[in-house]
Structure 1
Amino acid sequence: MTSVSCGIDFGTSNSSIAVANNSNISLVPVEGTSVTTPSAMFFLRKGNVPFYGREAMHQFLTRQPGRLMRSLKRVLGTPIMKQGTMVNGEHMKFDQIIATFLQNLKEKADFQAGTEIENVVMGRPVNFIDNDPEANLRAQDELAKVARLLGFKNIDFQYEPIAAAFAHEVNVSGEKLALVADLGGGTSDFTVIKLSAKNIGKPDRTEDILANTGVRIGGNDFDKDLSLSAIMPEIGFKTTYGTKNLEVPLRHYYDLSEWSKVNFLYTPKIISQTRQLLFESHDKVRYGRLLQVLEQETGHALLAVTEETKIALTDSPSYDTPFEFIEEGLSTQVTREQFDIAISQQIEKVAVAARQCLADAHVKAEQIELVILTGGTTEVPAVQAEFRSLFPNASIADENKLSSVGLGLAYDSQNKFR
């Protein structure tokens, strides 16, 4: 009897699922014809009806009443996971919320497979949370619990960069010493691995995997740094107030720069404090925009234009970031140079993790023959430049950035559940 299995890449920013059925391994269309979907949910206020992915973002951006949720993966392993959250007046646990999102993917995979899939390899970062082994174990256990809620009976895990390597291995000629850089929305993970097409069917690849490292830095952190550098000043960040010229409280701006924290700002207390401080503000126009954002609950729109700006700066040296949702005709020009400066410290931390992976593998940079770049954050020009500088002798493989992990997890599931 043939065992059907699947791989699930539950990402901070984007997610995918792939099915292994006999020798056929393929990604599943999860939103229209697309094999990836934004890791976003929108609960329509009326009936708490959930929407997923691009449709969730559309519902939110067209100002439908409800609650948007993104970056749910970053909750795993943290105290927030146990606390749960209020969704349109109803308390919901995060394992239920994550399970609801992933169930949407599983139903499409079951339909493609023609059966209910019971075997899964879940992707995971090398570190969900830096320097906290207990939190890492707890995060994996929480993700396993979610998988059981979905009806999976046999559950295994694989590091995401290793999965990306498996997806690329089918195209490798001969044997290559490779470094995989998986830079997603929440984490940056690295693997040094020996790749060869003849090894694709091996159930145990331990001897081929030389080292793994990871750091809790990803595209969301780049968004945050860009937001604080170029976006938040337009709504009063670092302006002053009062007779002593004090800087306005910055905590709200930091929270407005993170998807997972925005919804906690729309409280009567915070809005009242901001309104009171506006009377003493030295820049009532800009600081008044902060009050407007809080009162109208448009913090996610700020994050959306920040992400839009980051993506635009991938191809253009500058971009006029629009703030139409705040004020008609309002915009600010952001340059790629500003962006590069804003994220320079984060890129250096990512590079340190990559170099540590080489050291742990007892490999020199010039020995790496292939660098596999996966994850949407590898599109950032400064990231591309950093890795080309680190590995000048290596070939660069960067196709299927958003789907290679899901595909590789399905390859791994076929070997583990045959």
Structure 2
Amino acid sequence: MASASSASSPSDPSRDFCAIDFGTSNSAVAVPDLRPDAARAGAMRLVPLEGDHPTMPTAIFYFAEGRHDADGPPRAFGRAALAAYVEGVDGRLMRSMKSILGSSLIDQVTDVGGGRGVKYADMLAGYLKRLRRQAALGGAEPRRVVLGRPVYFVDGEPERDAAAQASLAAAARTVGFEDVHFQFEPIAAAFDFEQQADREQVVLVADIGGGTSDFSLVRVGPERARRLDRRDDILASHGVHIAGTDFDRHIELTGILREFGYRAAGPARPGQPPREVPSGVYFDLATWHLINTCYSPQRVMELRNMKSFYGDPRHHQRLMTVLEERLGHELANRAEDAKIEVSGGGGCRIDLGLIESGLAVDLSEDAAVGALAGDIERIAQAGRETVAQAGLKPADVDALYFTGGSTGLRLLADRIAADYPAARQVRGDRFASVATGLGLHAARLFAS
């Protein structure tokens, strides 16, 4: 378990802690269950974050108009943030904030509209502050927290990975948490699985979310669940920084942006083969936290002047419509919807009529498989490496526990399961298993 903490002596240990699953796409919070009908001491429950929803999209919408208050610029969170964006309210939507951790962006300021600039670190802290307020019990906001973290924030770069955790810990302290601990997300999911385990077994947790694909091989069982120190039960952990947002990017590039000039040929020139249209703008349009960089006046002007680079003028016209009307996030949403639609098998039709009347593209399952095959194989390889790191073989895995939003992609789950034909497949709550397990760990850690 990774940890970073500061000394604290809270006066009421029964209600001053929580667990937060700060996800790339969705977040959740677990708190002590103090209701009179709670089944047992130390029980945890998920907090409704929006209405009855126990999860909230990891999203912030900054309004271009309105006054600052004590918390900063006017903004909305979660589903309200997405709704403001969909309704066309003037402002800026921010998603996939977790991907900023470990990058140089964390200390930079970005334009959020209305002449306002916000530091990415403050943006992240503002979202955590919202979660902390939702975790308040009896009016008291918790001072101790267990935060989930991927096995690797950044692949193969330990210094950047450590910096990512330090940035998240600093944001947590900024909003009032005094005692901050971390637990690997797939290990937390194993603790959730353990609640239904009736015997000792070895489980490989596949936690495939929006930003990372993490695996942990954990020994679980009814007797082991009573122990606070589980280090000996964590046999191996591994992961790669590939997951749902990468799938969305590939689907958008392959299934949508070819109609806007991606990988298209330029005009024929005497004695020269046609050159491929420059691709930088397309990769940025397919990456959530870079979409807004495509809208800067300087870049729009630069791309407007590149009309002669395009062999098909319709491609350039469609691209400029996206940039001038700021429709990049809408294209990304349609790519995500298409991924979900083909996840169970079959194809789909992607309506792009908002760009050009009658424009639509068909995405077949074969095309989706081709677009995602490389990433899916790298994720499956990370699972095999996890088992190998523990000195075990695939046949030694008793159960596969799938959690995380991207495990709903049938192509991915089937590929991972193929490596462990004897293992029992169990599916947890794709969006709440990690938060539930983090809550169990927080109860054992703090209540003790």
Instruction: Calculate the TM-score normalised by the size of structure 2.
Output: 0.90
Q: What letter matches 1:154 in structure 2?
A: D
Could you say what secondary structure the match of 2:75 adopts? strand
Could you say what secondary structure the match of 1:297 adopts? coil
Q: What letter matches 1:24 in structure 2?
A: A
Identity %: 36
Matching residue of 1:27: 46
CA distance in 2, matches of 1:32, 1:105: 14
Alignment of 1:132-211 (within 5 A): 132-211=157-236
Matching residue of 2:337: 308
Matching residue of 1:105: 131
CA distance in 1, matches of 2:293, 2:313: 24
Deviations 1:331-375, CA, capped at 9 Å, x for gaps: 111112111110101011111111110011111111111111110
Q: Does 1:77 align with 2:102?
A: yes
Aligned 8 A contact 1:20 1:413 in 2 = no
Q: Does 1:411 align with 2:440?
A: yes
Q: Which of 187-196 and 236-245 deviates more?
A: 236-245
CA distance in 2, matches of 1:371, 1:280: 50
Aligned 8 A contact 1:321 1:332 in 2 = yes
Matching residue of 2:144: 119
CA distance in 1, matches of 2:324, 2:244: 28
Q: What letter matches 1:191 in structure 2?
A: S
CA distance in 1, matches of 2:13, 2:297: 58
Could you say what secondary structure the match of 2:356 adopts? coil
CA distance in 2, matches of 1:132, 1:337: 34
RMSD (Å) for aligned C-alpha atoms: 1.4
CA distance in 1, matches of 2:140, 2:302: 55
CA distance in 2, matches of 1:346, 1:74: 17
Matching residue of 1:36: 55
Q: What letter matches 1:290 in structure 2?
A: L
Aligned with 1:10 (options 11, 17, 22): 22
Aligned with 1:96 (options 94, 106, 122): 122
CA distance in 1, matches of 2:299, 2:278: 11
Aligned 8 A contact 2:277 2:309 in 1 = no
CA distance in 1, matches of 2:65, 2:349: 36
Q: How many residues align?
A: 417
Q: Which runs of 5+ in 1 are unaligned?
A: none
CA distance in 2, matches of 1:210, 1:317: 38
CA distance in 2, matches of 1:213, 1:196: 22
Q: Which runs of 5+ in 2 are unaligned?
A: 1-11, 34-40, 67-72
Instruction: Calculate the TM-score normalised by the size of structure 1.
Output: 0.97
CA distance in 2, matches of 1:18, 1:81: 27
Name segments (4+ residues, structure 1) moved above 3 Å: none
Q: Does 1:360 align with 2:389?
A: yes
Shift, 1:280, TM fit: 4.8
Greater share of residues in helix: 1
Q: What letter matches 1:107 in structure 2?
A: R
Could you say what secondary structure the match of 1:241 adopts? coil
* C-alpha spacing 1:197/1:328, structure 2 compared with 1 (3 Å): farther
